[in-house]
Amino acid sequence: MFQIKNYINGEFVPPNSGCYLDNFNPAEGEVYSQIPDSDASDVELAVQAAKAAFPAWSSLTREERSQHMLNVSRRISERLDELAAAESTDNGKPLWLAKKVDIPRASDNFKFFATAILHDSSELHDTDGLYLNYTLRQPIGVAGCISPWNLPLYLFTWKIAPALASGNTVVAKPSEVTPMTAYLLSEICDEVGFPKGVLNIVHGLGAKVGSAMTEHPDVPIISFTGGTETGKTIARTAAPMFKKLSLELGGKNPNIIFDDCDLENALRTSLNSSFANQGQICLCGSRMYVQRGIYEEFKTRFVAEVKKLKVGNPKADDVKLGAVVSKPHFDKILSYIALAKEEGGTVLCGGKPAETDMNGWFIEPTVIEGLAETCRTNQEEIFGPVVTIQPFDTEEEVLQYANGTQYGLASTVWTSDLTKAHRVAAQLHTGIVWVNCWLVRDLRTPFGGVKNSGVGREGGWEALRFFTEPKNVCIPLS
Ligand code: NAD
């Protein structure tokens, strides 16, 4: 069986423990490869390699660094088909989605930040004509990047690319559930002659590898995307060392549909925003609020469309939902559907494992009605193909519902009243608001959440600011 290796100092190396973990194909429900069960000693080697590579990498000109990164971007694009197939097999997501979105975005992440550093600038302040203040933005050192399983290469490169572009070297850990495209990225680095030690990839469990990175005194900055509880653990560990942290965490995103909206567009996009990637995107809307005047019509038409969504073999072109990522996650989603029923919800469609010709973990897209705002189903992140739907009467009421969870990542608003759109957007407690659209992710825009959805922002200049330390230099003008 194929065994993935760690990538440390430009070499493919086995874990020091000699032990491996099984890696599953969730559509088949079978082990198809193995990943290193690495520990703190492997992280130590990676950190030492990254430390040693830092002086040379951070001293390159921006053009030189940019060129190295463009080489990676180009090679990701050249290997699109193979990377997309690997992502689909590892994660269960439809192949067409990986080909259209995940892998092109991974290439774009490298290209965007390779280009952005060529146009970067810093502050300059003239103090009363007597002094000049300017800000140097310097790389920090060894950056730790830890990513989740839902958009594996997309989010892995979203962290690594700005960290490298800013002149840091990196120790990165992909999710142990979806390691394959991170491994292929290390192959790509090798192929294009990426400088040794600049990017190091260590595979394994979060509790061993992730925590060793967080605890390491020579990793002063951590970019993490994952669950809120893991984020809290990382924050607690990093606090005594005053590490710089960016934590992109869970969500329970409201999708607010006013009765003056373009109904066709709201219906079509809500299908996507509810069930894309099997509902396993942190930005998916999971709580739908529909204004009473159109509630019955919207609900009936929405449920009818949901029933048509094809679930099955992720490699088939006409499949809309593939497998969910793992057996534990499959069980978790089904347990939430059972909980919703206990809490008084009515399942309008779905609600059970999907019947397919495969042996893996498939769940029908599910819509649930009739739940109280405060119940667990409406408060906790399910992260699967499950949405709740409920009516509302007034703007004030829906804002209270929308803002009434511990999370604050993203929200969507549907209305044809521009004034209302501005007013509601300003009052939503989320880091991102989409009006009459969803998941438009311009790489230049700030990305992140509030409340228990995280701290810090990534994306565009925010990412370059996060991965650099500002230093003010003050010089008399005469
Ligand atoms: P997770 O928190 O279980 O794992 C994320 C990563 O952290 C993995 O690589 C894991 O190995 C590692 N990890 C686990 N324990 C660790 C520890 N103690 N120290 C350091 N690292 C550790 O999350 P997941 O199940 O992989 O991903 C799903 C979650 O990610 C959902 O909550 C989802 O909302 C969130 N997510 C958020 C965003 C965002 O941008 N806000 C994007 C995607 C996913």
pLDDT digits (tens, 9 = 90+) for 43-69: 999 999 999 999 999 999 999 999 999
Q: Do domains 2-249+453-476 and 253-442 have the same CATH topology?
A: no
Pocket of ligand 1 contains residue 175 by CB under 6 Å: yes
Give the Cα separation of 254 and 266 in Å (integer).
13
Q: Whose CA is nearest to atom 10 of ligand 1?
A: 206
Q: Whose CA is nearest to atom 34 of ligand 1?
A: 250
> In which band, very low, low, confident or very high, does the pLDDT at 468 lie, cut at 50, 70 and 90?
very high
> In which band, very low, low, confident or very high, does the pLDDT at 197 lie, cut at 50, 70 and 90?
very high
Q: Whose CA is nearest to atom 26 of ligand 1?
A: 148
Q: Is the pLDDT of residue 308 over 90?
A: yes
Given the residues 189, 282, 284, 364, select the one marked as catalytic. 282
Give the Cα separation of 386 and 334 in Å (integer).
10
> 11 - beta bridge partners?
8
Summarize pLDDT for 180-196 with one digit per residue, the tens.
Answer: 999 999 999 999 999 99
Q: Whose CA is nearest to atom 37 of ligand 1?
A: 249
| Overall average pLDDT of the 421-427 stretch | 98
> 131 - beta bridge partners?
127, 476
Question: Phi and psi dihedrals of 103, rounded to 5?
Answer: -75, -40
pLDDT at 121: 84
Q: Is the pLDDT of residue 424 over 90?
A: yes
Pocket of ligand 1 contains residue 71 by CB under 6 Å: no
Q: Strand 386-392 vs strand 30-36: parallel, antiparallel, or unpaired?
A: unpaired
Given the residues 87, 176, 248, 462, select the one marked as catalytic. 248
| Overall average pLDDT of the 84-104 stretch | 98
The model's pTM is 0.98
Summarize pLDDT for 212-239 with one digit per residue, the tens.
Answer: 999 999 999 999 999 999 999 999 999 9
- The token pair that represents 164 in the structure block: 């490298």
- Per the prediction, the chain carries an average pLDDT of 98
What residues contact 361, with CB distance under 8 A and at least 6 apart? 26, 29, 92, 323, 324, 325, 326, 327, 329, 330, 353
> 26 - beta bridge partners?
none
d(CA 205, ligand 1 centre) in Å? 11
pLDDT at 417: 98
Strands (E), 249-402: 253-257, 285-291, 346-349, 366-369, 386-392
Pocket of ligand 1 contains residue 248 by CB under 6 Å: yes
> In which band, very low, low, confident or very high, does the pLDDT at 430 lie, cut at 50, 70 and 90?
very high
Q: Domain residues of the chain, as ranges?
A: 2-249+453-476, 253-442
Q: What is the CATH number of domain 253-442?
A: 3.40.309.10
| Overall average pLDDT of the 467-474 stretch | 97
Q: Report the candidate in 368, 297, 283 with the shortest Cα–Cα distance to residue 333.
A: 368
Is residue 261 annotated as part of the catalytic site, yes or no?
Answer: no
Is 3.40.605.10 the CATH classification of the domain at 2-249+453-476? yes
Q: Whose CA is nearest to atom 39 of ligand 1?
A: 248
Q: Which atom of ligand 1 is nearest to the CA of 234?
A: 19
Q: Report the candidate in 448, 420, 403 with the shortest Cα–Cα distance to residue 158.
A: 448
Summarize pLDDT for 365-423 with one digit per residue, the tens.
Answer: 999 999 999 999 999 999 999 999 999 999 999 999 999 999 999 999 999 999 999 99
Is residue 282 annotated as part of the catalytic site, yes or no?
Answer: yes
pLDDT at 122: 87
- The token pair that represents 337 in the structure block: 């559907």
> In which band, very low, low, confident or very high, does the pLDDT at 120 lie, cut at 50, 70 and 90?
confident
d(CA 226, ligand 1 centre) in Å? 2
Q: Which of 109, 146, 277 to mutate to test the pocket of ligand 1 (most atoms within 8 A of CB)?
A: 146
pLDDT at 325: 98
pLDDT at 32: 98
d(CA 73, ligand 1 centre) in Å? 25
